[in-house]
């Protein structure tokens, strides 16, 4: 299975800066290939060069992204990716924008993000970006693959984005990185990963807010109480993990801080209408069937 969200080591050259944590990777996914990641280590952009993917990301479900489209996924997001058919992609990851001019220009887009209602949808790639991605793949086949190369290409991508994408497309594409309202949501998702088995008060403290203000802002942005959201988010990420055929019940319990097998069983039946053992068994059967077909 392709691990398209792997943070990989690339060669270091004298021109590279150590803080340039960015790279592009090429993948070919088989039809129905499934990739789960319940907490992304970095920001990712998926570029589809051919085929189609179906992506679940946090509260957004079944987003279709097809040939010549791109989609931004933020760090700490819970992700499920399924190849609807054979699909060719390039994945880019980055922690920060490397060019100071990009940071300044994107800051200027902030007022625009306040006027839109963000929808988790792909953005059409203009021709120069498609050619840029094919060049990256060609050069990597020629073993051009060092931190300096990826740092240059990172800057070049954002330059092409600003030069050839309409402003409204850029705002929709990058809104999660720059919008005030979305910044609260992103911070919630980031701190939730760090929370462990904490309660709502612990959650508010991690976000840097008092319990009352946190609850008010949370309900405004998510239309649900923090406590209920935390349970739903735990269930969503747990379901992704249980669908990994290599997982064991003990590993899943440890990862999600369940101390009682009875409580764990009851939680899964409540949210999934199945026991954890049944979910894992189905995942292993799917893998067995797939290996039998190949």
pLDDT per residue as tens digits for the range 48-105: 999 999 999 987 889 999 999 999 998 888 899 999 999 999 999 998 888 888 877 7
Rounded to an integer, what is the distance from CA 135 to the centroid of its chain? 25
* Six-digit token string for 108: 């200027």
pLDDT at residue 38 tops 80 = yes
Residue with structure tokens 């050259």?
A: 13
Residue 44 three-state SS:
strand
2-11, 28-37, 141-150: least confident range = 2-11
> What CATH number matches the domain at 22-178, 2.60.120.10, 3.30.565.10, 3.40.50.300, 3.40.190.10?
2.60.120.10
Any residues with CB less than 8 A from the CB of 144 and at least 6 apart, and which?
none
* Six-digit token string for 160: 């092409």
- Please count the residues of the chain: 294
pLDDT tens column, 139-192? 999 999 888 899 999 999 999 999 999 999 998 898 888 765 556 877 888 788
Q: How far apart are CA 233 and CA 2, in angstroms?
A: 25
- The burial class, CB within 10 Å (0-12 / 13-18 / 19+), for 137 is middle
Q: List strand residue ranges (DSSP E) for 104-248, in order.
A: 123-124
Q: What are phi and psi of 249, to 5 degrees?
A: -60, -40
| Residue 91: predicted pLDDT | 98
Is there a contact between 203 and 214 (Cβ–Cβ < 8 Å)? yes
- The burial class, CB within 10 Å (0-12 / 13-18 / 19+), for 282 is middle
106-120, 150-164, 237-251: least confident range = 106-120
pLDDT at residue 205 tops 90 = yes
> Is the entire prediction scored with pTM above 0.85?
no
Delimit the domains of the chain by residue range.
22-178, 180-293
CATH of domain 180-293: 1.10.10.60
Does 180-293 match 22-178 at the fold level?
no
Q: What is the mean pLDDT of the chain?
A: 88
| Residue 110: predicted pLDDT | 77
SS3 content of the chain, % helix, strand, coil (to 5): 50, 20, 30
Q: What are phi and psi of 58, to 5 degrees?
A: 55, -120
């Amino acid at each position: 299975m392709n691990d398209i969200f792997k943070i990989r080591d690339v060669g270091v050259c004298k021109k590279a800066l150590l803080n340039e944590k960015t790279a592009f990777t090429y993948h070919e996914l088989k039809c129905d290939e499934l990739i789960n990641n319940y907490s992304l280590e970095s920001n990712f952009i998926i570029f589809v060069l051919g085929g189609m993917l179906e992506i679940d990301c946090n509260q957004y479900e079944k987003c279709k992204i097809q040939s010549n489209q791109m989609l931004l996924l933020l760090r700490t997001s819970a992700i499920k990716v399924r190849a609807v058919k054979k699909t060719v992609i390039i994945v880019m990851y980055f922690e920060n924008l490397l060019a100071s001019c990009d940071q300044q220009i994107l800051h200027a887009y902030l007022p625009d993000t306040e006027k839109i209602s963000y929808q988790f949808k792909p953005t059409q790639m203009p021709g120069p970006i498609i050619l840029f991605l094919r060049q990256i793949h060609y050069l990597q086949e020629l073993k051009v693959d060092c931190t300096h190369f990826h740092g240059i290409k990172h800057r070049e991508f954002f330059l092409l984005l600003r030069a050839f994408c309409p402003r409204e497309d850029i705002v929709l594409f990058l809104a999660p990185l720059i919008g005030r309202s979305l910044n609260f949501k992103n911070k919630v998702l980031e701190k939730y990963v760090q929370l462990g088995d904490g309660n709502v008060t612990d959650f508010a403290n991690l976000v840097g807010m008092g319990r009352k203000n946190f609850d008010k802002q949370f309900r405004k942005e998510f239309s649900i109480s923090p406590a209920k959201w935390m349970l739903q988010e735990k269930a969503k990420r747990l379901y992704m993990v249980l669908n990994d055929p290599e997982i064991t019940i003990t590993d899943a319990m440890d990862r999600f801080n369940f101390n009682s097998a009875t409580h764990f069983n009851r939680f899964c039946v409540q949210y999934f209408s199945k026991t954890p053992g049944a979910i894992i068994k189905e995942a292993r059967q799917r893998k067995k069937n797939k290996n039998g077909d190949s």
